[in-house]
Copies of this chain bind each other. A is one copy, B any other.
């Protein structure tokens, strides 16, 4: 087992990464001096792991709530269902929530913990690669609104993250690959050595070999923890974690958030950001090429779906949440491992990248 600490003063917390951690009574007890615990999971993950987690919580007053599986349930209504359950059980401010599942379960449970009686403790037990390397770490919680994703939320750090790598064995291949997109992201934005390591170990990762997985998750969490420690509430540097996300969200929106997974859209978005960075003369041509090769080995797409053309994509990028006053800012690369957030890329260069990738002519996976 490995451990990363997210350093945030009094809100610091550990991220544990290893095999078969879900059933560890000791580990759970260490972070749950609370008497009352509500485990929130979904209809896919619950049947696989809930019993084991509940067994490890025998010393607490424990209940569970199973929500439907899927992004469309990341809503204020489901958050309210969690609150209703807490109130029915007469859970007080000392109670704790436990999020057992992927990003949706983690985000909606974390948000419920952020607002129940103005904030209670919660633990993240992520069971997808994406959640283990990204969404479960850093305290971003949210639900979707019909007019926008993650529009209602809070920064609320968990008391601990327990990432059991054994749960990844049951993950569908596409979801596993989608998680790898965020892993690759850390190499691109701030860790060139990790990028090289990924090039050397992608085959082992795709085989889901335990040691390689643990190393990749550990290194991802180290990078994420460093960024979050520097800028908890995304006032500055934390925005580099959104590399590829503005392009990606445009793709997801064009597809009505169906068909493509978030990580798949981010993969293409990162490649587009790298392409734009190369056009600006910031990146050597080999970096986008290396990235493309790596994404392919991870079975990730390298171009938007043919239905999304350049103009539509530019339109959709305008309404991105990250768009602050004064022009669309993008996360770009000034070198492999050096990301910047900037509005200074020139509309003409952006247009070139969009037309290169989103004209229906671009090479599709």
A residues near B (Cβ < 8 Å) are 35, 76, 80, 83-84, 87-88, 90, 92-94, 114-119, 140, 142, 145-148, 151-155, 233-234, 319, 321, 323-325
The 3 closest A-B pairs by CB, nearest first: A87-B147, A118-B153, A94-B325
Shortest Cβ gap from A343 to chain B (Å)? 14
A87 engages B35 (CB within 8 Å): no
Find the B residue at minimum CB distance from A234.
B118
**Cβ contact within 8 Å between B94 and A155:** no
Write out the residue numbers on chain B whose beta carbons fall within 8 Å of the beta carbon of A117. Answer: 151, 153, 321
Residues of B within 8 A of A153 (CB): 115, 117-118
Q: Which of B88, B93, B94, B151 contacts A87 (CB 8 A)?
A: B151
Residue of B with least CB distance to A141: B118
B145–A325 touching, CB < 8 Å: no
What are 15 A-B contacts defined by CB distance under 8 Å? Answer: A80-B145, A80-B152, A87-B145, A87-B147, A87-B148, A87-B151, A88-B147, A92-B321, A92-B324, A93-B321, A94-B324, A117-B151, A117-B321, A118-B153, A119-B154
Q: A76-B76, A145-B83, A145-B84 are in contact. Are A324 and B118 (CB under 8 A)?
A: no
A154, B152: Cβ atoms closer than 8 Å: no
Cα–Cα distance between A324 and B120 once the two chains are bound (Å): 12
Nearest B residue to A86 via CB reads B151
Q: How far is the CA of A115 from the CA of B90 in the complex (A)?
A: 25
B114 adjacent to A84 (CB under 8 Å): no
Shortest distance between the CB of A317 and any CB in chain B (Å): 14
Are A115 and B152 in contact, with the CB atoms below 8 A? yes
**B residues in contact with A90, CB < 8 Å:** 319
Separation in Å of the A75 CB from the closest CB of chain B?
Answer: 10
Chain B contacts for A323, CB-based, 8 A: 92
Contact A118 B155 (CB under 8 A): yes
Name the B residues within 8 Å of A146 (CB-CB).
84
Bound CA–CA A148/B145 (angstroms): 24
Are A154 and B118 in contact, CB atoms less than 8 angstroms apart? yes
Docked pose: A152 CA to B324 CA in angstroms: 28
Residues of B within 8 A of A88 (CB): 147
The answer to whether A84 and B115 have CB atoms under 8 Å apart is no
Report the minimal beta-carbon distance from A63 to chain B, rounded to whole angstroms: 15
Which residues does chain B contribute within 8 Å of A115, judged by CB atoms?
115, 152-154
Residues from chain B with a CB closer than 8 A to the CB of A84 are 145-147
A173 to B267, CA, bound (A): 63
Which B-chain residue is minimally distant from A142 (CB atoms)? B118
Kindly list chain B residues whose C-beta atoms are within 8 Å of the C-beta of A321. 92-93, 117
